[in-house]
Amino acid sequence: MDPNARFDQRSAAAQETMAILHDLSQLLNTGLSREQLKACVELIESGVNAQAVALIVQELRKEASKR
């Protein structure tokens, strides 16, 4: 298979996955934008503990609500 075709398939799959994650995020009322969700996913994919990411998001929300 052509390397460009493989790249296109991976890119399309990644976009579809992010769309599904964003839909799920909206159903769960997380309040995360696509960009914020993408940043969280990138952190988790790079090895950051998912619970740590969730705690950071919660803390940032608490701080933002105080202002």
Q: What is the pLDDT of residue 9?
A: 82
- Tell me which of 14 and 43 has the higher pLDDT: 43
Confidence (pTM):
0.77
The pLDDT score that the predictor gives to residue 43 is: 96
For 2-40, the pLDDT digits (tens) are 777 776 788 888 899 999 999 999 999 998 999 999 999
- Does pLDDT of 41 surpass 80? yes
Interior angle at CA 32, CA 9 and CA 59, nearest 5: 130
8-state DSSP, 14: H
Q: What is the pLDDT of residue 20?
A: 95
